[in-house]
Amino acid sequence: MTNPPFAVDLERNVAVPMRDGVTLRADVYRPQADGPFPVILTRTPYNKSALDGSPSPTYESLAAAGYLVVAQDVRGRYASDGEFTPLFAFGYPDIEDGYDTVEWCARLADSNGDVGIFGNSYGGFTSYCAAFSQAPSLRCVFAEGMTQRLTDFEPHFRPGRRFAWSMCTIAPDIRLKKGLPGTHTKDIADQLWERERHKWLWFLPRKDIPDDHFGGPVQAGYYRTLMTEGGVDTFQWQDRYQDVRVPVFHRTGWYDRFVRAIDGHTLMAQKAATPAARAGQRAMIGPWGHTSALHAYEGELDFGPAGLVEQTDLLLRWFDHWLKGHDTGIMDEGPIRLYILGDNAWRNEQEWPLARTQYTDYYLHSNGGAQTARGDGNLSPDQAGDESPDHYVYDPRDPVPSCHLMHDQDGVFDQRVLDARADVLVYQTEPLAAPLEVTGEPTLHLYAATSAVDTDFMAKLVDVHPDGFAQNLCYGVVRARYRNGYTAPQLLTPGQVYEFTIALNPIANVFQPGHRLRLDISSSDFPNWDRNLNSGSDGYSDGTMVSARQTVLHDSVRASRITLPVIPRD
């Protein structure tokens, strides 16, 4: 065999039979050389083939490096037969289909029988499913941009991303396959979304949205369940970690709403079936959003040249190690590789959360005037004393707007555009004299009351730069009726003070000297999160809205505070 890179041949829409008789289809990229070769598989609902018929540059590059590359449309999508069942619905078939496809790949002509799988976002989901399938020929997994529980990123409905995903990405192909009216291609659906998105995002009650906007009654049924059942984890992976018998690379970004993919590393490193599988877990979190384009900027901030990573090179380092036995150095970098924002540099770590974490409380302070960034809200390690509470009015007709990308993905955006809103409380430190590293998962303990029977409280951690740029870092939310868990929803007693615990997403950031650490508290972040109508309604069957007067308390008895995972600096 000659050395790569090889020229590549492409076979389109090769039939892949499943155990239940349904036929899925895959494109197979073959090196123009004598085999056998290991196989790299990816399974996607987003169309394995470019619309113009051109080969995928990523798949072609992997094949040119000496792999058979199989790109498959999942069940019910594009060239594959069957009914599509999305990941947020019970009964998804991706574990069984993953097993059958892996073993089909192992039997391909010129295959050496060893298979790896990769994918980002939904492809990360199907990659994890393959890991759980115990397919005998699977040797390794590279899963990107996918968390371990549906409730990690959708504890209650998130209309921005969910509607954009369903109406632009999923529904057009479903309509085309079923002969239903409406847009049949994603590019036309995207153009329509830009013109009509506000109509659907603000639509109440949502039960009256016609089925065809979701791709017909079957698909609409999945979304209607999602819109009415808060906190239901359809993944049900908690008992499957002991089935994992292969090394898994878990990659995500700090600005990916699926950043809790880091939990996949922790759980598999603890519970995978064999010592080798447990030792083979690796994780990487970079300065990225929900993307496989691993550039050094996300939104309005550049995180430096070290943040630029070529995805194909990263994939090949992983697969060359596990499928070809090459020493690529990828297993020498530490079990967890973190990009530390602020320092803008990579660092190897051994565990998550970091063992040397010093959990430190920063208390909320004000004289009752923390509304807007020009208020008197303060944040410090000093405990609260006799202080007046802060108040604001949350009106679901005028929610705090989300600062994110058009299709409702997270990114870095200057939060100063929201600074004048009276329905945002702002607490911030004085300019720091020394670097302060926060790496881990912050938690807000909030003492609050409301005039409503139900409401939301949002928390956002912000790094305020010396020039005023207010860099969003991470956020968290609590829906009050679910404060004691999703299995026992309970409305509030208006005016009663409750302690709410709000878990913020993981982050790794160094607040540099001269920067301020800031905490924003509000009751909305729309359309990133569904508006709480304050009436006890879910917004699906009833669109009744009421304004709520919110009270945040911070005194010696009710000490609202954020617990920060502080990392000592050498």
Residues carrying an active site annotation: 121, 256, 290
Alpha carbon distance 176, 48 (integer Å): 16
Q: Which residues contact 523 (CB under 8 A, 6 or more apart)?
A: 392, 394, 400, 423, 455, 456, 457, 458, 532, 548, 550
The distance in angstroms from the start CA to the end CA of the chain is 51
Peptide bond before residue 527 is cis, with ω within 30 degrees of 0: yes
Structure tokens at 259: 């950043």
Peptide bond before residue 205 is cis, with ω within 30 degrees of 0: yes
Residue with tokens 């208020």: 375
Q: Strand, helix or coil at 389?
A: coil
The answer to whether 491 touches 430, Cβ cutoff 8 Å, is no
Structure tokens at 164: 């954009």
Structure tokens at 224: 């209607």
Structure tokens at 29: 């990229």
> In terms of Cα–Cα distance, which of 563, 566, 561, 516 is closest to 384?
561
- The backbone region for 14, taken as left when phi is positive above 0, alpha when psi lies in -120 to 50, beta otherwise, is beta
The answer to whether 42 touches 319, Cβ cutoff 8 Å, is no
